[in-house]
Amino acid sequence: MNPRIVVANLIVSIKSFYRARSTLFFMIAFPIILILVFGALFMKQDNMSFDLCVQDLDHTDSSAQLVKTLDIDGRFNVIKIDPAINATQYTKDNKLNLVLMIPKGYEGSFMQRMALHNPDASVTLTYLYDPSSIFVSMKMQILNSVFAGINQKMSGKPPFIRSAETSILAKKYRFIDFFVPGIIAMSVMTLSLFGTVNLNTELRQKGVIRKLSTTPITRTDWILSNILYQFILAVISTMAMLLVSYAVFRINLHIDAWLPLFIVLDVFAFVGIGMILTRFAKDAESAAAAANAISFPMMFLSGSFFPLEMMPGFMQTVARILPLYYVNEGLRASMVFNDHMAALRYSAIIGVFAAVVFILGIIATNWEEGQ
């Protein structure tokens, strides 16, 4: 390896990149847009409240008190429906997913239970719902828990079983805190993979690689300078992502030496894969298609966006053979859980993988028959 050659190559790559302003924008903007969109979504989930339509057919003080209780609970934004209209038709016409119907006679039953202590007095509230809605079951569960609380209070006895929540984490983390390390891992992967494939196939098609093969630059120099270049881009991109995440979502993550280490390993692994793809793809289009075929399943299966627990068992097994999974888990271990032993374990796995594909990348890069 010749450091002067690596640096010369790096300077050319950085100048070319800097002068292509649109690439600069999209490279930094894409992961930030993802963080903003998903972050906003998850923030809403953390403090989620639902609209709840209520049709009070009883129209009494007691039924009004029940509606008020639902409103005060904070998890529902109560919308009252005129008792005179057909609730089923109204639900269909307005594409509502749930309407709670308080029946006529609610106050009568309530008074029988509370004043006359009649244990048989009860009331049935109707959930008029659209089963195709993804949120309706969650709303019904919340309603059930609210009503269970009311029933408990009306019984006049303290609950027998109580629950206490104790987080395994020292601090309270939100979903965005778990999401950001996954997006860092994913964007470094796409930058390294597509950057390598696009650059190398373009230069090969144009004949620049053929010219380079008549100079003293070696395949190792070339790949190392590619890795160094992609690492610099990855650091810029990661810094931008972290800054936006801190500024907008006040994320709570540990930043230490593990972060650059995992970025380096991520870059090594995917530049190596990019080099291998470049060797076997005939042109830029087929190389980009191959890179897509690798990166898309990796994005969705390795836990960058969704927790692995959401996937079926066999897909979780698949995830554990994907290199991005170990980068995701390693970054979360260090940035979220501050678990150095786990980070070390994941870095060792991805490190071995990166070393193997780096060597294969060098072997696969064949300049002699470069055109």
Give the residues lining the site for another protein (CB under 8 A): 2, 4-5, 7-9, 11-12, 15-16, 19-20, 203, 206-208, 210-217, 367-370
What contacts 19, CB < 8 A, 6 or more positions away? Answer: none
The rounded distance, in Å, linking the Cα atoms of 277 and 296 is 15
> CB 12 → another protein: shortest distance, Å?
5
Q: Based on CB atoms, which residue is closest to another protein, 2 or 45?
A: 2
> CB 224 → another protein: shortest distance, Å?
14
> CB 3 → another protein: shortest distance, Å?
11
Burial of 143 (0-12, 13-18, 19+ CB in 10 A): buried
Q: Based on CB atoms, which residue is closest to another protein, 133 or 198?
A: 198
The rounded distance, in Å, linking the Cα atoms of 209 and 199 is 10
Q: Based on CB atoms, which residue is closest to another protein, 260 or 370?
A: 370
Q: Based on CB atoms, which residue is closest to another protein, 17 or 268?
A: 17
What contacts 292, CB < 8 A, 6 or more positions away? Answer: none
**Angle between helix 323-335 and 284-301 (nearest 10):** 50
C-alpha dihedral over 43, 185, 321, 198, to 10 degrees? 130
Q: Based on CB atoms, which residue is closest to another protein, 44 or 206?
A: 206
Helix (H, G, I), strand (E, B) or coil at 58: coil
In order of 12, 201, 210, 222, 227, the CA distances from 207 in angstroms are 17, 10, 5, 15, 21
